[in-house]
């Protein structure tokens, strides 16, 4: 008798999901955001289809405002996995110069939500893998693993398809699509543990180092390039920081930390007292139910 560990069970479930989509969808794609969850999802895809490379491309919906380290890792992982990398930047957002400093919530809406919809429509993808987890946020806890979207990418939380056993319904009409979340049942700790056990490459920003920062509205922001508009008298300060989640650098709060290795990062996570999305501005605009509302509009 072999007692499978919880990570082995989670891995088997995720691989099963990845293969079901490839078997049943016409044009799958993997949404790759370069964060730790994406890193695990990509690794699982490589395991699922080995010795073939994963039979779908990676899609990065870019906002042009990610950390530089993220772009570097993205390009490296695409090379190493043997997968095609598609990078999409919403041309309208580019033309209007939409940025997180001047445009607030519009930045996320145009670059991410609209950009994603445009990219999916452009390439005609009918199934998109995403690295969301149910433990992240309350509306995610109720979303199916195969999450059906209308032709206009809308999500109807009241009218989700029942999902029984490990039988996923991938049937859909032309124009409709499915968002698939293979790591739905993983927790933040599972992710870190799995990265540790499998030696999965992640962006160095997750580890502590001296980085130039400024403090704004109680958040520590990293000055990652010279597009960061400093206020009069504001001078970047070198602090020992790291990030628990990664997004657009002007919207992602750092934590002061000395954790420079994976075990130290996990240790800090276990002893910490705030949730990981707390450093993200995105969950807060729109109040209590903002993520649910964003998802209905087509956000991942």
Partner 1 sequence: MTDPIYKTDALIAEDINAYLETHQHKSLLRFITCGSVDDGKSTLIGRLLYDSKMIFEDQLAALEADSKRVGTQGQEIDFALLVDGLAAEREQGITIDVAYRFFATEKRKFIVADTPGHEQYTRNMVTGASTADLAVILIDARKGVLTQTRRHSYLAHLIGIRNIVLAVNKMDLVDYSQKVFDDIVADYTAFAQSIGITSFVPMPISGFKGDNITANSENTPWYTGKPLIEHLETVELDNTADQAKPFRLPVQWVNRPNLDFRGFSGLISTGSVKPGDAIRVLPSGKTSTVSRIVTLDGDLDEAVAGQSVTICLADEIDCSRGDVIATADNPPEAANQFETTIVWMDDEALHVGRSYWLKLGTQMVSATIQQPKYTVNVNTMEHLAAKTLDLNAIGVAEMATDKPLVFEPYADNRALGGFILIDKITNRTVGAGMLHFSLRRAQNVHWQAVDITREMHAGMKNQKPAVLWFTGLSGSGKSTIANLVEKKLHRMNRHSFLLDGDNVRHGLNKDLGFTEADRIENIRRVGEVAKLMTDAGLIVITAFISPFRAERDMVRAMIPEDEFIEIFIDTPLAEAEARDVKGLYKKARSGQLKNFTGIDSPYEAPDSPEVRIDTTKMTPEQAAELIVERLIG
Which residues in this chain contact partner 1 in the complex, by CB under 8 A? 1-13, 15-16, 19-20, 22-23, 46-53, 134-135, 138-139, 141-142, 157-158, 160-167, 169, 171-173, 184-185, 187, 189-190, 193, 196-197, 263-264, 266-267, 270-275, 278, 288-289, 292-293
Q: Are 241 and 206 in contact (CB under 8 A)?
A: no
Q: Cα separations (Å) of 88 from 16, 60, 71, 152, 170? A: 28, 6, 13, 19, 25
| Residue 118 vs 187, nearer CB to partner 1 | 187
Judge residue 264's burial from the number of C-beta atoms within 10 Å of its C-beta, 0-12 exposed, 13-18 middle, 19 or more buried: middle
| Residue 72 vs 197, nearer CB to partner 1 | 197
Lookup: tokens for 13? 């479930």
| Residue 68 vs 293, nearer CB to partner 1 | 293
For the bound state, the minimum distance from the C-beta of residue 91 to partner 1, rounded and expressed in Å, comes to 33
Lookup: tokens for 110? 């145009």
| Residue 121 vs 268, nearer CB to partner 1 | 268
| Residue 17 vs 203, nearer CB to partner 1 | 17
For the bound state, the minimum distance from the C-beta of residue 246 to partner 1, rounded and expressed in Å, comes to 19
Query: What whole-number distance in Å separates Cα of residue 261 and Cα of residue 279?
Result: 21
Q: Cα separations (Å) of 223 from 98, 204, 226, 251? A: 18, 16, 7, 11
- Residue 168 has, within 13 A of its CA and on its CB side, a CA count of 24
For the bound state, the minimum distance from the C-beta of residue 253 to partner 1, rounded and expressed in Å, comes to 12
Q: In what order do the strands lie in the sheet with 219-222?
A: 219-222, 209-216, 237-242, 255-256
Query: What whole-number distance in Å separates Cα of residue 82 and Cα of residue 28?
Result: 16
For the bound state, the minimum distance from the C-beta of residue 55 to partner 1, rounded and expressed in Å, comes to 9
| Residue 158 vs 231, nearer CB to partner 1 | 158
DSSP 136: S
| Residue 51 vs 97, nearer CB to partner 1 | 51
For the bound state, the minimum distance from the C-beta of residue 121 to partner 1, rounded and expressed in Å, comes to 20
DSSP 25: -
For the bound state, the minimum distance from the C-beta of residue 39 to partner 1, rounded and expressed in Å, comes to 15
| Residue 167 vs 235, nearer CB to partner 1 | 167
For the bound state, the minimum distance from the C-beta of residue 105 to partner 1, rounded and expressed in Å, comes to 18
> Cβ atoms within 10 A of the Cβ of 160, count?
14
Provide the β-strand partners of residue 29. 128
Query: What whole-number distance in Å separates Cα of residue 52 and Cα of residue 57?
Result: 13
């Amino acid at each position: 008798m072999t007692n499978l560990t919880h990570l082995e069970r989670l891995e088997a479930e995720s691989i099963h999901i990845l293969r079901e989509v490839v078997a049943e969808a016409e044009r799958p794609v993997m949404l790759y955001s370069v964060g730790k969850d994406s890193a695990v999802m990509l690794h699982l895809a490589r395991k699922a289809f080995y010795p073939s490379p994963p039979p779908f491309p990676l899609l990065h919906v870019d906002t042009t405002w990610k950390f530089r380290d993220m772009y570097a890792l993205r390009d490296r992982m695409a090379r190493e996995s043997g997968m095609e990398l598609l990078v999409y930047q919403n041309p309208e957002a580019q033309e209007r110069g939409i940025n997180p400093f001047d445009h607030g919530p519009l930045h996320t809406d145009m670059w991410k939500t609209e950009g994603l919809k445009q990219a999916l429509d452009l390439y005609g993808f009918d199934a998109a893998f995403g690295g969301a987890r149910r433990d992240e946020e309350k509306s995610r806890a109720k979303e199916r693993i195969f999450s059906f979207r209308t032709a206009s990418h809308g999500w109807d939380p009241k009218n989700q398809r029942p999902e029984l056993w490990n039988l996923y319904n991938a049937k859909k009409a032309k124009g409709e699509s499915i968002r698939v979340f293979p790591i739905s049942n993983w927790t933040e700790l599972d992710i870190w543990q799995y990265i540790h056990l499998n030696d999965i490459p992640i962006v160095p920003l997750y580890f502590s180092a001296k980085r130039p920062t400024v403090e704004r509205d109680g958040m520590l922001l990293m000055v990652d390039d010279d597009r960061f508009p400093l206020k009069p008298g504001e001078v970047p300060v070198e602090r020992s920081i790291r990030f628990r989640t990664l997004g657009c650098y002007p919207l992602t709060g750092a934590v002061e930390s000395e954790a420079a290795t994976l075990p130290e990062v996990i240790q800090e996570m276990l002893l910490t007292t705030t949730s990981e999305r707390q450093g993200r501005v995105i969950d807060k605009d729109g109040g209590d139910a903002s993520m649910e509302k964003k998802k209905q509009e087509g956000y991942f």
